[in-house]
Amino acid sequence: MPPNPSFDYYAQLQVESTATAEQLTASYRRLARIHHPDKNPDKTEEATAAFQKIQEAYEVLNDPAQRARYDARFSSASRDSAPPASAAHARDNDMDDFFRPRYDPFGFGDFPGFFNYDFWREAFPSHAEQGRERRRGVDPLDAFYQRERERREEREKSREKVLEALLAARRARDEAEDAAKRAKADAKKSEEEAKNEARARRQKEEKSAQEAMWEKKNARTKDEKLRTCLHSEFCTKVPQKQKFKCGFCNTKRGITAFECPHCATFLCQLCLVYFAGERDRAQK
């Protein structure tokens, strides 16, 4: 006949003796997750002992017949009265089946027959795997650390792949930005070159047209050229220290002169605008 439990099943599950099956299950699952050895690697022995008590208490109290026998047994013990021989015999047979050792798939050795394997196999598959390794003669710690090394290597490889992808994306972005900058700079350079070429072409055409006009009007002297000059679109701006006299209208107007490249005359702003219109009419 197995000895009476050394602890109170209800107190172990932190429930009242009137607790319902739902309350028992809820408290059992909460406490089992707290005290399971997988959750307490630094206190494996203490956690295992607590876990076994919780499992034992739940297996008894969750079964209506076993719970009734447990309540009756401890109620009888509290009255210091022994049960009938026939009842004791039946109880002994039941308790023998209840406490009969069975193989523990989690690696802690053989547990009594009340151990709920299915629940813990689903809830803690890693620990169940350690139990199978122990039965095969594999040190569970070595197997555990080997799995951890493999997981760590996989994580490192994953991080390296992510880092390589990020670096490749950054390089591609930088190369694209550099290519865009070079393309923009090349386009700007080409535009400036085209403007300069067009300006040089217009200057050349303008000079040829002015020389043709002088030839047509038979202008040879400086005064003759000045009177027949349409003045250039490309006059050079020349700052003056004081107001200057315009070479065409002979009026002092400002301190900024515009020098014609054809006749070397200083023109004022108004005359510059006037001759722009004259050049347009001459071209028409």
Which is more confidently placed, 167 or 74? 167
Question: For residue 111, what are the β-bridge partners?
Answer: 102
CA 282 to chain centre: 70
> Angle of helix 269-283 relative to helix 140-217, nearest 10 degrees?
80
In percent, how much of the chain has pLDDT > 70?
75
Task: Flag whether pLDDT at 68 surpasses 50.
Answer: yes
How does residue 253 score in pLDDT terms, banded at 50, 70 and 90? confident
For the chain, the average pLDDT equals 81
How does residue 138 score in pLDDT terms, banded at 50, 70 and 90? low
> Angle of helix 140-217 relative to helix 125-135, nearest 10 degrees?
130
**Residues 6 or more apart from 203 whose CB is under 8 A from it?**
232, 234, 261
String of b and e for 108-131 (b: at least 16 CB within 10 Å)?
beebbebbeeeebeeebeebbbbb
pLDDT at 118: 55
Task: Flag whether pLDDT at 92 surpasses 80.
Answer: no
pLDDT at 11: 96
> pTM for this structure?
0.37
Predicted confidence (pLDDT) per residue in 172-231, tens digit: 999 999 999 999 999 999 999 999 999 999 999 999 989 998 999 899 998 888 888 989
Calpha distance 106→102 (Å, rounded): 12
pLDDT at 111: 46
Which is more confidently placed, 284 or 50? 50
Which is more confidently placed, 86 or 228? 228
pLDDT at 78: 55
